[in-house]
Structure 1
Amino acid sequence: MNEGGRIGRIIRITVFYAATLLVWEALVRFLQVPEWLFPAPSHIIDVIAEKNAVMLFHTLATLQETVLGFALALALGILFAVGIIHFPILRDTLYPTLIMFNSFPKIAVAPLFVIWIGIGIESKIANAFLVALFPIVINMIMGLVDMDPELLELVRAMSRSRWVLFWKIRLPHSLPYLFAGCKIAVSFAVIGAIVGEFISGRTGLGYLVLSANSQFNTPLAFTALFYLVVMSLGLYGLVILAERLMLPWYHREPAA
């Protein structure tokens, strides 16, 4: 995409969201919707200005749980995928086990983490890890096996070492798949952390939403959701940035 097209896209997105906020504000005021039922954007802005320090405190708590859970899922996800590809015993045992665990409803598993690990940050990290692990493993496996058979035969003919094949061919080829999985996983990790906070949180945006709802403080709940969206988009953007920095060849536009 050229510079003019990129600027035009930014303008269109900005105009769309600005118009949405204006219509939202106008409808709430025209229909005289109570603040506790559905607050106007101006009410949410007032809460942001008044409680910014509190919001940042809870945002950092959720961010810590999310990042640690995602990082653990990334490290073990890569390790599991490589092991499943290279060792038949893991392919026959670990892979079906991961599929089985992924089929469990995550909100039902979250209370078990509280029983096993406690009500501290560890149970939220475990929940974020659990929901983020599967997309990373699956996408990494796809990248490792989705290879050109002729290229594999050529490399095998040049070198008998399967580790040379892995480091020189399979791993670089799998990185775009891995980043695709990370984009999904980092969003799932946020959801996992929030679910953990719903179950046993004393801090975090999930706890704040639950607390605000119990007090019918809808503007505060909307504000917490706003911070949550900004945090999620920021993490997603960081994954995209890391992908572009590590895989410039994958995003390079063809010459005209």
Structure 2
Amino acid sequence: MSTTLTDRRITEGPELPVQKRRRRPTLGRMLLPIGVVVGLILVWQLACSVFNIPTYIIPSPVEVWQSLSENWAMLMQNTWPTLIESVLGFALGNLVAILLAVLFVHWKLAERALMPVAVFIRTIPIVAVAPVLVIMFGQGYTPKILIAALISFFPTLVNMVKGLESVDKQSLELLRVLSASRNEVLWKVRMFASLPYLFASLKIAAGNSVIGAIVAEWIGSQEGLGYLIIQATYNFNTPLLYATMTVASIMAVLFFGLIGLIERLVVTWEADVKA
């Protein structure tokens, strides 16, 4: 029996590892989080009714829904500026992070010189940077886009560097034997290996960019969801405050879902990547 298996292995060659395909999301997996959200909303409504919580402290889901309906036009009008700032900041921050990651992988001196600077910038609170940028660039789109870019930049830089360096050494040796150029190694091997790491960081940056835009609008703005949050807080309009936060959360979730959808279309294999 063992002799037959050995002969068969010698004849057919060693078994090659098979790449795992991503599992498609089933209806049950999609309904589970929806059910949890619905359950939390019901608990929220029940708690407000049983304990008679005042509206100015915590409004009930029904009151938040009424505020959403009554202020829908105003909410949508202020959603567009925040969306523009988030998307442009997301694109700018991640583009710079990817370009720097490629530079760091090919030029280690640049990594040793600039990575500490990137870490230092990351440690500065956004609420401290925002006023400086508003003073420098005014209350237009520019400071909001820059802040959204700053808050999206660092996770992508770190993950992209790790992804570009995660290439199998045997693959690199093979390309060197074949006299492949740096550009060929980058586009044919390194970029391919870095995609799971890149999308893991992009999903983090998707939510961060929305947060960055809203925080920037707190400092100086006459429009946007951040501006609405400040106005609702000052006027003790708690239902509008919760309605605005709901719209911002939905926007961030949709942004996250869009990145996840693109990932499923591009990265069709499973990878062990920790964000």
Cα deviation code 1:32-84 (max 9, x no counterpart): 22111110000011111111111111111111100000010121111111111
SS for the counterpart of 1:248 is: coil
Gaps of 5+ in 1: 252-256
Normalization by structure 2: what TM-score? Answer: 0.86
Aligned pairs for 1:218-233 (under 5 A) are: 218-233=238-253
Matched, 1:162 2:192: no
Separation (CA, whole Å) in 2 of partners of 1:237 and 1:148: 30
Partner of residue 67, structure 1: 87
Q: 1:122 aligns with which of 109, 125, 142?
A: 142
Normalization by structure 1: what TM-score? Answer: 0.92
Matched, 1:96 2:98: no
Q: 1:207 Cα deviation (Å)?
A: 1.1
Partner of residue 47, structure 2: 27
Partner of residue 243, structure 1: 263
One-letter amino acid of the counterpart of residue 65, structure 1: E
Cα deviation code 1:128-165 (max 9, x no counterpart): 01110111111110011112112211221112422221
One-letter amino acid of the counterpart of residue 60, structure 2: A
Matched, 1:36 2:60: no
Change (3 A) 1:144 1:2: closer
Partner of residue 254, structure 1: none
Partner of residue 49, structure 1: 69
Change (3 A) 1:248 1:2: closer
Separation (CA, whole Å) in 2 of partners of 1:238 and 1:144: 24
Cα deviation code 1:62-111 (max 9, x no counterpart): 11100000010121111111111112342232222111211211211111
Runs of 4 or more, structure 1, over 4 Å off, are: none
The number of aligned residues is 250
Partner of residue 207, structure 1: 227
Identity across aligned pairs (percent)? Answer: 38
Q: 1:248 Cα deviation (Å)?
A: 2.6
Q: 1:219 Cα deviation (Å)?
A: 0.3
Q: 1:21 Cα deviation (Å)?
A: 1.6
Bigger Rg over Cα: 2
Change (3 A) 1:56 1:137: same
Q: 1:107 aligns with which of 116, 121, 127?
A: 127
RMSD: 1.7
Relative to its length, the structure with more helix (as a share) is: 1
SS for the counterpart of 2:26 is: helix
One-letter amino acid of the counterpart of residue 134, structure 1: F
Separation (CA, whole Å) in 1 of partners of 2:190 and 2:149: 25
Gaps of 5+ in 2: 1-21
One-letter amino acid of the counterpart of residue 17, structure 1: V
SS for the counterpart of 1:35 is: coil
SS for the counterpart of 1:38 is: coil
Q: 1:30 Cα deviation (Å)?
A: 2.1
